Amino acid sequence: MTEPLWPAVFGRFGWMDLPFVRAWQELSVSEIIGAGAGGLVVVGGLAVVILVTWLGRWRYLWREWFTTLDHKRIGVMYVVIAFVMLSRALVEAVLMRMQQAAAINAPGFVAPDHFAQLFTTHGSIMIFFMAMPFLTGAINYVMPLQIGARDVAFPLLNAVSLWLTAGAAGLMMVSLVIGRFSTGGWTGYPPYTELAFSPDVGPDYWIWAVTLGSLGTTMSGLNFAVTIYKERCPGMTLMRMPMFCWTSLCTSILMIFAMPPLTVATALLALDRYLGFHFFTNDLGGNMMNYANLIWLFGHPEVYILILPAFGVYSEVISTFSSKELYGYTSLVIATMAIAVLSFTVWVHHFFTMGQSANINAVFGIATMAIGLPTGVKIYDWIWTMFRGRVRFSVPMLYSLAFMMTFVLGGLTGIILAFPPLDYLVHNTLFLVAHFHNMLIPGLLYGMLAGYNYWFPKAFGFRLDERWGRISFGCWVVGFYLAFMPLYVLGAGGMTRRSQAVFEPAFRPWLYIAGVGALVLLSALVTLFVQLWVSIRNREANRVPVGDPWNAGGLEWSIPAPPPAYNFAVIPTVRDRDPFYGEKQAGNPYPAPKRYESIAMPANSMTGPALGVLGAVTAFGLVWHMWWLAGLGLAASIATVIARSFARDVERLIPAAEVARIDRRWRKEIQRAKPIGRVVEGTPTNRGLAEVEA
């Protein structure tokens, strides 16, 4: 009686799908590591639930965070997701490096199948669930403030995007506890990920996690683009927008056009696996190259989705901490647009080794080299911005300088790989791994960390600890060079990617150096959290309530820190490219409103968290063939959307009296604060009121 009942209820699930049971039945170091990771997820989740319950904060979290439509809080939650997933993916990277260092003519401690899961989850998390949430969170928080808007164009859609991403990230974490993840790499290439070669649940976890994330990202792109087009304050023409807004706009356009090919690719692969279609199989008309074209029609624009927001951060940081107007603004705008367009012309360089004609290879090789030109324009403009400026070597500026040096080295290796014959030689080696980490770590991670240190005071009202910020910066930079520069040597020597074991003793010293680098990178992550802890502990000494700790020029610095829910008591009018700096020079940076008006803001909604949870539940049911659960989750998702369409009370009114009270309290802080110069901006005397210098 129970035999047909079990698969009807639990689908493909069996007790051996639990890592704890596998570790008990098949005792090995590899299985113990897997069980430990799963246990950490379970214990960590329970610890968070118990702590929040003990503190009695569930009502606060639900009201102020989970159901909020405030773009600022949504941005913060995106960044929290990014930090959580960064922690997991970096630990996995360390495990892979330790395995390779230990497996030189030896089995090592991680089994081949487990190692393949590690490199798949590491790549998938870093691209889809660390980098994407980090940059989306930064855009979410900063861009509406910079254009003088109260919120994004579609606040509810913004919340849905967040919670779909959170649901997808949750699905990735669940795969540590129930079942195994894919071994097909972060690109999920068929036919290996087809049923014939991968009948387990791993590819299904990958398909549905990536699909949920890509849907959320597509909606974010639409939301950001409409916000920039339609929500700019009076006087904010396109050519008066901050560079971060320009890079956000181009990133949004890339999201709109690059994410659908990924969604189509995962949907077609799902049809192959679930309904017996043959889009990408080895037989019955399937063609894997269709998948390769789809995945890289997304994949190469994705590189610039990741890097363009960081370019915007560097533009803001370098201008602010050089105490100069950004040099070559127009050329930077043109370069940004050129990169966005050219990013769709180079995808074929990802399969120079797959047999297309020499003419096609030549065209895409030239296009690959051409995309380096607008990037070079940016580097020169940033250098000229610093030239004869009063450069302050704050933590955000240090990340920017490290980026420029390291990114140029990575770009040179990109030019090498743009030659099809050279790419053919090193495409499947660690040389390529070194190259793309050489672009993405300084290009994306350093940029987001620079932005994190730069805008943190605006978001939370107190500065991050400078000393621990410098320690973390040093670990990130030293760890990067130790971990990835040896890979160029190993790749040139012929060491292949994704190798669980190594059979060339000459590789030993380079693998040891890379292993040490991985440990230094792990210490960088630890010191980043220490910096946050120390900053929270000492927050009273580092408060900047006035809101302008760096003497910057954008609108986001002209309001309190943290900003009120409505951002601006009165929507500003812009007359030049650095509006707040211009007002400071004119001697009237904080003009008092003539009158206050009531402000309508979007009311909280449970639609976002409901759709995120239901999307994850539906995906989990599809992964395990629990059809009842998948059907229930899908039906509930549709019902949630229909129910929301009947909601009428979708706004809350902030009375003019409350707006006036909040604004006047802030103006009293301005009167109490002492203007400070750039030399002492890192000391407790900095309360966020910058001294205007000639």
Give residue 564's pLDDT. 96
Give residue 337's pLDDT. 96
614 domain-assigned: no
Q: How confident is the model at residue 489 (pLDDT cuts 50, 70, 90)?
A: very high
Closest CA to 445 of 91, 693, 155, 90: 90
Q: Which is higher by pLDDT, 250 or 371?
A: 250
Closest CA to 172 of 93, 52, 84: 84
Q: Are 144 and 152 in contact (CB under 8 A)?
A: yes
Give residue 1's pLDDT. 42
Over residues 402-456, the pLDDT tens digits come to 999 999 999 999 999 999 999 999 999 999 999 999 999 999 999 999 999 999 9
What's the pTM value of the predicted model, to 2 decimals?
A: 0.96
- Structure token pair of residue 303: 């590189």
Residue 140 pLDDT more than 60? yes
How far apart, in whole angstroms, are the C-alpha atoms of residue 221 and residue 232? 17
36 domain-assigned: no
Give residue 3's pLDDT. 62
476 domain-assigned: yes
582 domain-assigned: no
Q: Which is higher by pLDDT, 529 or 352?
A: 529
**Residue holding tokens 């930090």?**
83
Over residues 523-536, the pLDDT tens digits come to 999 999 999 999 99
CA 403 to the chain's CA centroid: 17
Mean pLDDT for 584-602 is: 90
How far apart, in whole angstroms, are the C-alpha atoms of residue 338 and residue 559? 34
Closest CA to 262 of 329, 212, 312: 212
Q: What are phi and psi of 609, to 5 degrees?
A: -60, -35
Indicate the residue type of 625.
Answer: H
Q: How confident is the model at residue 7 (pLDDT cuts 50, 70, 90)?
A: confident
- Average the pLDDT over each of 129-143, 457-471, 677-691 and give the range with the smallest value: 677-691
Helices 372-386/288-321 angle, 10° precision: 10
Give residue 619's pLDDT. 97
Over residues 280-315, the pLDDT tens digits come to 998 898 999 999 999 999 999 999 999 999 999 999
Residue 353 pLDDT more than 90? no
692 domain-assigned: no
The full DSSP string for 243-306 is HHHHHHHHHHHHHHHHHHHHHHHHHHHHHHHHH---SSSSSTT--HHHHHHHHHHHHHHHHHHH
Give residue 691's pLDDT. 82
Mean pLDDT for 679-689 is: 88
Over residues 237-252, the pLDDT tens digits come to 999 999 999 999 999 9
**Residue holding tokens 């939301």?**
223
Over residues 307-349, the pLDDT tens digits come to 999 999 999 999 999 999 999 999 999 999 999 999 999 999 8
Residue 693 pLDDT more than 70? no
Q: How confident is the model at residue 163 (pLDDT cuts 50, 70, 90)?
A: very high
How far apart, in whole angstroms, are the C-alpha atoms of residue 581 and residue 585? 6
- Structure token pair of residue 658: 């409350």
Over residues 54-68, the pLDDT tens digits come to 999 999 999 999 999
Burial of residue 269, with CB atoms counted within 10 A of its CB: 0-12 exposed, 13-18 middle, 19 or more buried: buried
How far apart, in whole angstroms, are the C-alpha atoms of residue 580 and residue 458? 15
447 domain-assigned: yes
Write the CATH number for 98.
Answer: 1.20.210.10
- Average the pLDDT over each of 105-114, 401-410, 683-692 and give the range with the smallest value: 683-692
- Average the pLDDT over each of 93-107, 353-367, 521-535, 612-626 and give the range with the smallest value: 353-367
Give residue 287's pLDDT. 93
| Terminal-residue alpha carbon distance, the chain | 86
Over residues 625-646, the pLDDT tens digits come to 999 999 999 999 999 999 999 9
Number of domains in the chain: 1
Find the domain containing 166 and state its range. Answer: 57-543
How far apart, in whole angstroms, are the C-alpha atoms of residue 496 and residue 95? 18
